[in-house]
Amino acid sequence: MQPSGYGRRNPDRLDATFAALADPTRRAILARLATGEASVMELAAPFDMSQPAISKHLKVLERAGLVSRGRDAQRRPRRLEPRPLAEATGWLEAYRRLWEGNFARLDAVLEELKAAKKPGRSKR
């Protein structure tokens, strides 16, 4: 019963990932980058925000390893690094799914208990 996978990754990075994802603007930036790389100016365009403000968000994302810089020295495009995000979502998702299954079965048990309490219903 060897645990495999997500438990072995770096917990510090996981924390940085969650912290970076805690902000809606940063999630929107990631969503934009998921469609392809973009310059800071392009990223700032849809937001009611200055480029320095966007740059600040980008720095947080870069530190968390979620975003990297492309080669073009002029545009300095940012691109999505999907790996840490996948690790973070996978990490919680496995746990969530395990408990979702437990609770779905618990729902069924509760339905039965409720039915058994109602008068006029036969309990089994």
Tell the smallest beta-carbon distance from residue 64 to other proteins (Å): 14
Alpha carbon distance 66, 84 (integer Å) = 6
Binding of other proteins by 53 (CB under 8 A) = no
Sign of the C-alpha dihedral computed for residues 29, 30, 33 and 38 taken in this order: positive
Q: Which long-range contacts (CB under 8 A, 24 or more apart) does 100-107 make?
A: none
Binding of other proteins by 86 (CB under 8 A) = yes
Task: Find the binder of other proteins among 36, 72, 90, 121 (CB under 8 A).
Answer: 90
Whether the Cβ atoms of residue 89 and residue 95 lie closer than 8 Å to each other: no
Return residues touching other proteins (CB under 8 A).
1, 3-7, 9, 11, 14-15, 18, 21, 24-25, 27-28, 30-32, 34, 46-47, 82, 85-87, 89-111, 113-114
